[in-house]
A and B are shown apart, each in its own frame.
Chain A
Amino acid sequence: MRNAFARAVTALADQNPNLVLLAGDIGNRMFDAFKDKHPTRFYNCGVAEAGMTGIAAGLAASGLQPITYTITPFNTLRCLEQIRDDVCYPNLPVILVGTGAGLSYASLGATHHSMDDIAALRILPNMHVICPGDAVEVELAVAAALELKRPTYIRIGKKGEPVVHGQPPVFQVGRGIVLREGADIALVSVGNVLPIALDCAEVLTDKGFSTGVVSLHTVKPLDHSLLTDLFNRYRRIAVLEEHGLAGGAGSAILEWGCTQGVDLRKLRCFAGPDRFLSACGNQQQARVAIGLDTGAIVQSLVQGWEF
């Protein structure tokens, strides 16, 4: 996903003279092409995320469209108040990109896990929260965020994730992408767990459950009409996200649903626990450890089918 981001931002900067890329002392070689082509529009802001966010706000207040880029926890929680006061309060066109969504950097330890960023960012007024499901969605998300010209957080993974979309889908901020229709179970995938959702759909279909899959790449604003439709048409709605349960996408859907008259008993949330994950191994091992793998998700949905 991060290579897709580098590719996208370089191409978009060719077309958009206002795009300025700020990095927090990471991704150096990744942006070589950008730096070659646009030397006055790339700045390494150092290991200073609060400072970088303020710089982005100042650039945006002066007519530019900055994108800040660093590892997810550092670009979100570390500088959360700068995001709130400097970016969201004045409603400036700043795009924050966090690399290392969820457990992408599981083996680096809990300081590098990002199981709380969706929660932290979506509580901020004016903020948009986008969690692309694969590299194709990353490229589309960056382009869409530049069009939006509002505070936007894009949560991307690392490198080498499976590419899900063979063709670029229609991508609109705030509109989920239906990848597969069904009748029994709707798997609502948020971000980098999209390949797991598709895998689960295969297995569930084999077991006789008609399963749909949605990439709900935007957590804020939520796609209310799509969610209403899912609750009306399916018997189960299962939200998958590599993020803590508290404050994540499932939590956002509950906040919305409790005033909509939809049957929230249909909802299942597959998300992370309320504890720091230590010695959890690599991303795949960590996913298994918290039940965010195909086997555990399928088993839970099948065993809990009757209620």
Chain B
Amino acid sequence: MTTPTSTTLAAQLRAEVVQMSHRAKAAHLASALSCVDVLTVLYGQVLNLDPAQPDHPDRDRFILSKGHAAAALYAALAWKGLIAPDQLLTYGEQHSLLEEHPSPKLPGVEAATGSLGHGLPIGNGMALAARIQNQAYRVFVLMSDGECNEGSVWEAAMFAAAQGLDQLTAIVDFNKWQATGRSQEVLKLDPLADKWTSFGWAVTELDGHDHDQLLAALTRTPSGRPHAIVAHTIKGKGVSFMEDDNNWHYRVPTEQEVLDAKVELGVA
């Protein structure tokens, strides 16, 4: 059930991400905003993580394969208690492990992402390791739609299906944009859900901003098959003047724009 807590949390994370982009003059704000609801539901209600033991062998694994959305991950990690909230202030600064793409040295980061197409193969290895070692943890990999341009994604998709890795869930943040154009036009991505189905995956197509739908899908474990969630999203979601405007792939908000965004998000 969508709790006020969940929507409030998503708004808080969005405000944090907007503030971080401004402070660090860091790009990829709209890409981070589009996946905040997925992260909110994952970190709020799905992932089995103990902040006191971030390396516990039985923890669920989450890989932000679209590493350019790192700010959203850091905000979620801080909320969950895996990193200190104060650390968010150091985002993008020298001597901070909060780099614009996740460093494997940071607690809570499962893989060094930033180069696209790396997360799903690594997720395969983690899911396979669980099977080999008789562990029950789950593995979640969040990718962008542009990332599905990478051949390694489809190498991994075939392997996961061949091995029946049902502990693995891939989520595609399908915001219809990549860096320089519509993801349907740069390469022919549609029909994306059908692609995953044809690769042997169980597929759920949903509204990637609807927490009820996300919770239901993220807690679903189809027997014998990996699960792909094609999450229809809006790039820049939550801030009206950024929504579906690809200029915000690279643009950094001004101080006034941060204030406007916070008002709109209802976060003081």
Contacts and interface: CB of A to CB of B under 8 A. Distances in A.
Same assembly: yes
B159 interface: yes
Contacts, number: 104
Interface stretch (B79-87, B124-132, B257-265): B124-132
A286 interface: no
B121 A51 contact: yes
Contacts of A85: 112-115, 118
Contact of A61 (B110, B118, B120, B156): B110
B152 interface: yes
Given A48-B159, A55-B121, A58-B122, A43 B152 contact: no
Contacts of B111: 57-58, 61, 86, 90
B123 interface: yes
Contacts of B163: 43
A58 B158 contact: no
Contacts of B132: 20, 40-41, 59, 64
B118 A82 contact: yes
A60 interface: yes
B112 A62 contact: no
A59 B128 contact: yes
A62 B130 CA distance: 8
Nearest to A58: B125
B181 interface: no
Contacts of B159: 45-46, 48, 51, 55
B121 A50 contact: yes
Given A62-B125, A85-B112, A90-B104, A48 B158 contact: yes
Contacts of A86: 111-112, 118, 121-122
A63 interface: yes
B interface, by DSSP: helix, strand, loop or mixed? helix
A241 B115 CA distance: 33
A53 interface: yes
A124 B120 CA distance: 23
Interface string B209-245: 0000000000000000000000000000000000000
Contact of B104 (A40, A62, A64, A89): A89
A57 B155 contact: no
Interface string A176-192: 00000000000000000
A52 to B, nearest CB: 8
Interface in A28-58: 40-41, 43, 45-46, 48, 50-58
B139 to A, nearest CB: 8
A50 B151 contact: yes
A255 interface: no
Interface string A269-306: 00000000000000000000000000000000000000
A38 to B, nearest CB: 10
B133 A54 contact: no
A63 B56 CA distance: 11
B4 interface: no
B121 A82 contact: yes
Interface in A72-131: 81-82, 85-86, 89-90
A66 B129 CA distance: 10
Given A46-B158, A54-B120, A82 B152 contact: yes
B191 interface: no
Contacts of B133: 62-64
Contacts of B129: 58-59, 61-64
Given A20-B132, A43-B128, A85-B115, A58 B121 contact: yes
B1 to A, nearest CB: 33
Interface in B192-220: none
Contact of A81 (B115, B126, B151, B155): B115
B56 to A, nearest CB: 12
B152 A51 contact: yes
Which of A50, A58, A81, A90 gathers the greatest number of chain B CB atoms within 10 Å? A58
A14 to B, nearest CB: 16
Which of A48, A64, A66 gathers the greatest number of chain B CB atoms within 10 Å? A48
A10 B75 CA distance: 46
Interface string B85-113: 00000000000000000001000001111
9 contacts: A48-B155, A55-B122, A57-B111, A58-B123, A59-B125, A60-B125, A82-B118, A86-B112, A90-B112
Interface of A: 20, 40-41, 43, 45-46, 48, 50-64, 66, 81-82, 85-86, 89-90
Given A50-B117, A62-B125, 17 more contacts: A48-B152, A53-B121, A54-B118, A55-B122, A55-B159, A57-B121, A57-B125, A58-B121, A58-B122, A58-B123, A59-B125, A61-B110, A61-B111, A62-B130, A64-B132, A81-B115, A86-B112
- 9 closest A-B pairs by beta carbon, nearest first, are A58-B125, A54-B121, A51-B155, A62-B129, A48-B155, A90-B104, A55-B125, A58-B122, A58-B126
